Amino acid sequence: MSLEIVEFKPCIVALAGPPLSGKTTLGGKLSEMTNLYFFDMDNVRRCFPVQLYPDPDKERDFFRNPVRRYAAILTAHAYAYYLASEVLENGEPVLLAATYSHPSYLNPLREFADLYRRVNQPAESALRIFVLEAPEESLASRVDQRVSLRDETTVNTVEHATDLRRRFGPIEGEDVCHVNTGLSIEENIDQILAALTVFRKEPAV
């Protein structure tokens, strides 16, 4: 495999999918291999200037209330777009990873892409959304792996992960591409890079 970094023009790439579908893993790999600047919602929500989320061990109770859940998630998303706007203004492409558990959370993402298009006038939409789906039978090993890594995740049982998967709303649209993360990470990366060809920088002659 070539060690050369794949360079993209400014564009907005989103990785969506239920918890444990592999967003952070794929996002990390993509940000190593390309010039995509990676914003992982799990990190962004914790660096909001005012405390937005409680300590990890209290998160599950916190999120049981739907009003608080919507309001906190939307705020974290909007702040991620604000941070990403700075990167785009510097001429760099961005990669965002978030659950997008309900189609409504896509409204701010699409608005963000529209605003970028309106102000910076790229010829076509600069947004691509990849929806990651892991096979149900792989959930148990994914949960085990997380727990053994002492990853500070709120999703630490198969029941919880299955429940969240069930609640995950369909994400559709022309800019949406489905990725089966039951396949190898190399296959996933190939699929994603192929779908992003249109954003590749012209190679320097």
Partner 1 sequence: MSLAIVKFEPCVIAFAGPPLVGKSTLGRELSKKTNFEFFDVDDARWQIFPRTERLPDFREDLAMLSSYTFNHFQAAESLIKGIPVAVGATYSREIYILVLRMLADSAGVPLRIFVLEAPENVIEERIRKRTTEGNPSVVNTIEFAREVRQRFRPIAGSEVTPIDTGLSIAKNMEQIMNILEPLSRKV
**Is residue 103 near partner 1 by the rule CB under 8 A?**
no
Strands 127-133 and 176-180, by their bridges, are parallel
Nearest to 11 by CA among 202, 171, 192, 198: 198
Q: How far, rounded to the nearest angstrom, does the alpha carbon of residue 48 sit from its chain's CA centroid?
A: 17
Q: In what order do the strands lie in the sheet with 94-97?
A: 37-40, 94-97, 12-16, 127-133, 176-180
Q: How many residues bind partner 1 (CB under 8 A)?
A: 32
Subset of residues 56 to 95 that bind partner 1, contact rule: CB under 8 A: 65-72, 74-75, 77-79, 81-82, 85-86, 88-89
Q: How far is the CB of 39 from partner 1 (least distance, A)?
A: 13
Residues 24-63, interacting with partner 1 (CB under 8 A): 48-50, 52
Tell whether residue 116 is a contact of partner 1 (CB under 8 A): yes
- Under the binding rule (CB under 8 A), the answer on residue 145 touching partner 1 is no
> What is the contact surface with partner 1 in residues (CB under 8 A)?
48-50, 52, 65-72, 74-75, 77-79, 81-82, 85-86, 88-89, 104, 107-108, 111-112, 115-116, 119-120
